Amino acid sequence: MENIHEQLKALLDPSAVVEAPSISAVGNWLGHPYNSPLVLRPTTTEEVAAILRLCNQHRQAVVVHGGLSGMVGGTSSAGDEICLSLERMQKAVSIDKLGRTMTVESGVHLQEVQEAAAAEGLFFALDLGARGSATIGGNIATNAGGNQVIRYGMAREQVLGLEVVLADGTILSSMNHLLKNNAGYDLKHLFIGSEGTLGIVTKAVLRLRPAMPARNTALVATDQFDKLPRLLSHIESALGGKLSAFEAIWDNYYQLATQGPHLGAPPLAQRHPYYALIESTGSDSEAEAATFLAALESALNAGLIDDAVLAKSAKEQDALWAIRDNIDSLAAIAPVIIFDVGLPIGAMEAYIKQIEAELKSQLGLTQLAVFGHLGDSNLHIVVGTETEDIDVYHRVEEVLYAPLQALGGSISAEHGIGLEKKRYLHYSRNAEEIATMRMLKKTFDPNNILNPGKVVDL
């Protein structure tokens, strides 16, 4: 092994090499450890290619790192796996205003992409709570979702072209800039959402849209779950395509997220069973504010909401989003498992009741917090486990995942599979789908060096 390490180090500037033990105790946001003997931080695509060529020859496993904000252990490493971090590949942000595209290296943070687009009067339509630390490469590798999927789709919809380094070091440049291009297979889609198992994303051509300076945001409360999907339809029709977010919050999460002296009084009382954060974006501030208000008023008159607070400034809008994004408040029920399930909206209420009852009867667990992207059929369910015992974790996971199969649901609506959900993949994908995933993995990475053991086993 020493030999390959020395050869890898010789490919790079010393500043690109971090050796253990200095990083052995470092973990990512969720504390997934990486216990790697070597972290390589290349600055060019050619360096990534040279590293993979050598690793492929030596059957050296490589774990790919972006911003380390992933939620499913996709960047965890063990044994002699080396890590390849894209964090220094942050150059070459160029914007084509006319074609509405941005070309970036994959280590650029999502927030920097958003800000660079805004500086040119344009808009990048991907947003999520970890925008400051997540990289575009990680967003693409996980096909990230986030807060605006209901209007603009997931990361896949924001990508026009990719440059990817394959496991054998081949540089696959597929830097398409066109909105429509049906010249043969659209190869980028194989890598988007493949969680670093089929290739390493080094550059991307991103789709931009016109800026949407008019933003209207409200937090509303309602007493019954079945009013939430009705409210969603009502608001969607009333806003005529301008709805950009519809985030549901159960009372259990609202109470945690609005608790604590530093947060002040909650914008709405904590007594309501359900809340929704609603946002529209557009270009005409005055007209859209009036439409938004009228939509809320008609929802109130129709009995779909019991109370509402309308943000009157950007500061107030950010304060409402801060409630939705206050996942630090989950520390109050830690240790927790954060689930990311997808299921039809019509099945959500019964599903939550079922898992609540089973967690209590089978494991004596009662701490739950629920919120999520209701408009995308995606809920985040947080279960306080009272212990870090892995057997308890697995029992909790079975309770949540097993019912999804019959509902046509998904064990992962947006975070991916990584290491943590691999054992449950069969609840969401049939045997033929899993066999085809294996076939793709064997074709692209026959020596199984890229993020081995993640997503599917060979």
Ligand X SMILES: Cc1cc2nc3c(=O)[nH]c(=O)nc-3n(C[C@H](O)[C@H](O)[C@H](O)COP(=O)(O)OP(=O)(O)OC[C@H]3O[C@@H](n4cnc5c(N)ncnc54)[C@H](O)[C@@H]3O)c2cc1C
Shortest approach of ligand X to residue 297 CB, angstroms?
30
> 128 or 343: whose CB is closer to ligand X?
128
Shortest approach of ligand X to residue 207 CB, angstroms?
17
Rounded CA gap, 432 and 90, in Å? Answer: 39
Identify the three-state secondary structure at position 31: coil
> 65 or 272: whose CB is closer to ligand X?
65
Q: Which of 197, 176, 171, 170 is nearest to 188 (CA)?
A: 176
List CB contacts of 303: < 8 A, sequence separation 6 or more. 227
> 43 or 451: whose CB is closer to ligand X?
451
> 29 or 273: whose CB is closer to ligand X?
29
21-30: long-range contacts (C-beta < 8 A, 24 or more apart)? 28/68, 28/69, 28/70, 28/75, 29/68, 29/69, 29/130, 29/133, 30/71, 30/73
> 158 or 317: whose CB is closer to ligand X?
158
Shortest approach of ligand X to residue 143 CB, angstroms?
8
φ/ψ bin of 33: left (φ > 0), alpha (ψ from -120 to 50), beta (otherwise): beta
Rounded CA gap, 233 and 341, in Å? Answer: 22
Shortest approach of ligand X to residue 20 CB, angstroms?
19
> 128 or 310: whose CB is closer to ligand X?
128
Shortest approach of ligand X to residue 78 CB, angstroms?
14
Q: Which of 298, 324, 126, 297 is nearest to 219 (CA)?
A: 324
Shortest approach of ligand X to residue 174 CB, angstroms?
14
> 134 or 308: whose CB is closer to ligand X?
134
Cα torsion through 298, 304, 306, 309, rounded to 10: -60
Rounded CA gap, 46 and 388, in Å? Answer: 42
Shortest approach of ligand X to residue 137 CB, angstroms?
3
CA distances from 60 to 63, 276, 319 (A): 10, 48, 47
The residue number whose beta carbon is nearest to ligand X equals 138
Q: Which residues bind ligand X (CB under 6 A)?
A: 29, 64-71, 74-75, 86, 106, 128-130, 134-135, 137-139, 141-142, 144-146, 195-196, 200-201, 327, 414-415, 418, 451, 454
